[in-house]
Amino acid sequence: MGLRINDIAPDFTAETTQGTIHFHDWIGDGYAVLFSHPKNFTPVCTTELGAMAGLADEFARRNAKIIGISVDPVESHVKWKEDIRAATGHAVDYPLIGDKDLKVAKLYDMLPAEAGDSSEGRTPADNATVRSVFIIGPDKRVKLTLTYPMTTGRNFDEILRALDSIQLTAKHQVATPADWKQGEDVIITGAVSDEDAIKRFGAFDRILPYLRKTRQPHA
């Protein structure tokens, strides 16, 4: 069984480019974005880690730590960071986990059990399922999972947008519609009566009997 929304994110201890971490302790009382890539020194992954580095301040403003992982050793991560900076103009200052024994990849169902127990000799194709994203909340529960194919680089602006929605809807009884962005109208959940909605949000628009929209509440 793979990880599902609201499951407790598996804890682990791992070596990273910033030393040994104990994952739950590292997360602390904020959010975390754990994202994996198939292999260092490959083209799509290089652009992805640079893009995430460029958004690091945006995630920090949302009290969200970011951490990368692949089955390459830490020493390889350190060398690769120079290429990422050269190609994208962004320095990777967030930690990268060296999961050379594949333990974390398997723990998070990013590689099958039969993948073995060593990254030695593995090609990017061998690691094809390792292009995933997990958003984890302060309660250490999984809030979002996404997995992409080998040839499709991720849109990290979308991860940021999803985080905004997750954080907003954790505080208020609202949901966010398709293509929602920060500051746009939100949907009042069915658990809120019309009377309570007026008290909480003021005026609202009834689009359908079951679809009510209102202005985004303040955090």
List the one residue out of 195, 183, 192 whose CA is nearest residue 210: 192
Active-site residue list: 45
pLDDT at 116: 87
Q: What is the rounded CA–CA span in Å between residue 9 and residue 62?
A: 20
The CATH number corresponding to 13-154 among 3.40.30.10, 3.40.50.1010, 3.30.420.280, 3.60.10.10 equals: 3.40.30.10
Q: Give the CATH number of domain 172-214.
A: 3.30.1020.10
pLDDT at residue 214 tops 60:
yes
pLDDT digits (tens, 9 = 90+) for 158-206: 999 999 999 999 999 999 999 999 999 999 999 999 999 999 998 899 9
Residues near 171 by beta carbon (within 8 Å), at least 6 away in sequence? 217, 219
pLDDT at 1: 55
For residue 23, the SS3 value is helix
Cross-strand pairs, 214? 186
pLDDT at 2: 79
pLDDT digits (tens, 9 = 90+) for 37-61: 999 999 999 999 999 999 999 999 9
Reported pTM: 0.94
Amino acid identity, position 216:
Q
pLDDT digits (tens, 9 = 90+) for 66-116: 999 999 999 999 999 999 999 999 999 999 999 999 999 999 999 988 888
List the one residue out of 33, 38, 41, 100 whose CA is nearest residue 67: 33
pLDDT digits (tens, 9 = 90+) for 112-142: 888 888 888 888 889 888 899 999 999 999 9
pLDDT at 219: 61
Given pLDDT bands bounded at 50, 70 and 90, which one contains residue 217?
Answer: very high
Q: What is each CA distance from 85 to 66, 90, 96, in whole angstroms?
A: 17, 5, 15
Residue ranges per structural domain of the chain: 13-154, 172-214
72 neighbors 42 (Cβ within 8 angstroms): no
